[in-house]
Amino acid sequence: MMDDLPLLEVVDLSVTFSSREGEVFAVDKVSFSLFPNEVLGVVGESGSGKSVTSLSILRVLPASSRIANGSIFFRDEGRTIELANVDSESEPVRSVRGRRISMIFQEPMSAFSPLHTIGNQIGEAIALHNLPPGLSRSQRKLEVRKQTIDLLASVGMPTPEQLIDSYPHELSGGMRQRALIAMGLACHPSILIADEPTTALDVTLQSQVIALLSRLRSEQEMSIIFITHNLGVIAEIADRVLVMYLGREMETASVDDLFHNPKHPYTRALIRSMPTIAGTLDTLIPIEGTVPSPNNLPTGCRFQTRCPERVDGLCNVHEPVSIEIEPGHRVACFLSGSPVPQGGTND
Ligand SMILES: Nc1ncnc2c1ncn2[C@@H]1O[C@H](COP(=O)(O)OP(=O)(O)OP(=O)(O)O)[C@@H](O)[C@H]1O
Ligand SMILES: [Mg+2]
């Protein structure tokens, strides 16, 4: 897998929001790659910049924000398209968004219009992307309905012939989630970005959706960026993992390395706080303190205020940059060898 060229390369991406206090960095010099047929898990506590990173890839950021730095390269059908440094409504972006890269958004209710049946909404995406040429109007209608039913069946809807005519509010949470996934797949994307697609679901449904996405990934030769704050879900679905904290990349590793050889104190803290690895509730150790405000970042490493391994005079003074410590394993921590800037440790 790693021998292939990446499908997607995000390089030094920074995204800012304008606020009364000035520009606030929601994402700060983040780099990662996504390879063909790979699931990249993105994990981190609330506010780490997971959603903003994915909204940047699709160029659907809120109006108050902008890409301040970096590049996003997407390789598709033999060409490379740069998505960060062009207008968000330019042809390259429009040719990719919702066509070659699609997204399952974090808020399930806002993704569907309440006024139309899910069949009509998914069918609209199919009609845009996947119809054979030369059909009459009535043939098109039949073909779209057939493809929509097939798609709903493929995401595990038990009675797609009936559910196709439901309105979003008539579906159960699990069925609505499946409909959302179907919507994301309607264009046969090369990359599916799934932002917390299981958070609202109970544990059984969560595993079903994860199994479903894993199966679709193999069947459709699609890559997935899977965003979650749940490391248990990451362990189930991801090949590689990007750990983010307050807009920075803390650690990137294969899923095996991440769980068996975690290097960043933040990654280790996340693992200790994770119910399925810690075993019972008594052995769960929550991460101390709270995530600082991005308006008022700590000096030095962003995690130092909560880090059990902080070296005073170093970690609270300089911000470590990410370095590759082994092939495919990147860490941003002085304890793992991030270079100490000139001037040393101040003490
Ligand atoms: N609409 C917005 N207006 C202003 N700032 C925003 C907005 N959306 C996000 N941000 C800023 O970007 C930071 C990162 O937010 P983001 O939504 O990407 O986090 P996340 O990792 O997806 O968190 P969560 O796990 O809660 O979904 C936030 O802390 C906030 O400072
Ligand atoms: Mg989010």
Q: Read off the pLDDT of residues 201-222 as tens digits, 9 standing for 90 and up.
A: 677 777 888 888 898 888 888 9
**Does residue 324 register a pLDDT over 60?**
yes
Instruction: Compute, in angstroms, the gap from residue 47 CA to the centroid of ligand 1.
Output: 5
pTM: 0.91
Indicate the range of 71-80, 173-182, 297-306, 324-333 predicted with least confidence.
Answer: 173-182
Choice from 52, 53, 244, 248 to test ligand 1 binding pocket (greatest atom count within 8 A of CB) = 52
CA of 55, closest atom in ligand 1: 18
Q: Which residues, in sequence order, are CB contacts of 338 under 8 Å at separation 6+?
A: 320, 321, 322, 323, 331, 332
Rounded-to-integer distance, Cα 7 and Cα 304, Å? 34
CB 295 less than 6 A from any atom of ligand 1: no
**Where among 173, 188, 203 does a domain terminate?**
188
Instruction: Compute, in angstroms, the gap from residue 61 CA to the centroid of ligand 2.
Output: 12
Rounded-to-integer distance, Cα 319 and Cα 341, Å? 9
pLDDT of res. 130: 75
- Ligand nearest to C-alpha 105: 2
Compute the average pLDDT of residues 128-152.
89
Domain coverage including residue 144:
115-188
Q: Which residues, in sequence order, are CB contacts of 301 under 8 Å at separation 6+?
A: 307, 310, 315, 316, 318, 319, 320, 332, 333, 334
Residue of minimum CA distance from atom 5 in ligand 1: 17
CB 265 less than 6 A from any atom of ligand 1: no
Bridge partners, residue 326, by sequence: 329
- Does a structural domain hold residue 9? no
- Does a structural domain hold residue 324? yes
Q: What single letter denotes the amino acid at residue 50? A: K
CA of 295, closest atom in ligand 1: 31
How many domains in the chain? 2
Residue of minimum CA distance from atom 17 in ligand 1: 51
Is residue 97 a contact partner of residue 83, using CB atoms and an 8 Å limit? no
- Does a structural domain hold residue 294? yes
- Does a structural domain hold residue 98? no
Please compute, for residue 340, the number of CA atoms within 13 A of its CA located in the half-sphere on the CB side: 13
Instruction: Compute, in angstroms, the gap from residue 79 CA to the centroid of ligand 2.
Output: 30
Backbone angles phi, psi at 107, to 5 degrees: -100, 100
Per the listing, tokens 């040719």 go with 95
Task: For residue 108, name the pLDDT band (cuts at 50, 70, 90).
Answer: low
- Does a structural domain hold residue 222? no
**Where among 188, 222, 239 does a domain terminate?**
188
Residue count of the chain = 347
Share of the chain above pLDDT 70, in %: 93
Instruction: Compute, in angstroms, the gap from residue 134 CA to the centroid of ligand 2.
Output: 42
**Mean per-residue pLDDT of the chain:** 90
Rounded-to-integer distance, Cα 252 and Cα 244, Å? 9
- Does a structural domain hold residue 281? yes
Is residue 187 a contact partner of residue 3, using CB atoms and an 8 Å limit? no
CB 262 less than 6 A from any atom of ligand 1: no
**Where among 170, 188, 206 does a domain terminate?**
188
Instruction: Compute, in angstroms, the gap from residue 211 CA to the centroid of ligand 1.
Output: 28
Give the tens place of pLDDT for each residue, 275-317. 654 455 556 778 888 999 998 899 999 999 999 999 999 999 9
Is residue 84 a contact partner of residue 174, using CB atoms and an 8 Å limit? no
- Does a structural domain hold residue 109? no
CB 44 less than 6 A from any atom of ligand 1: yes
**Does residue 52 register a pLDDT over 50?**
yes
One DSSP character per residue, 40-91 reads EEEE-STTSSHHHHHHHHHT---TTEEEEEEEEEEEETTEEEE-SSS-TTSH
Residue of minimum CA distance from atom 16 in ligand 1: 49
CB 46 less than 6 A from any atom of ligand 1: yes
- Does a structural domain hold residue 347? no
* Number of neighbouring beta carbons within 10 Å of residue 315: 24
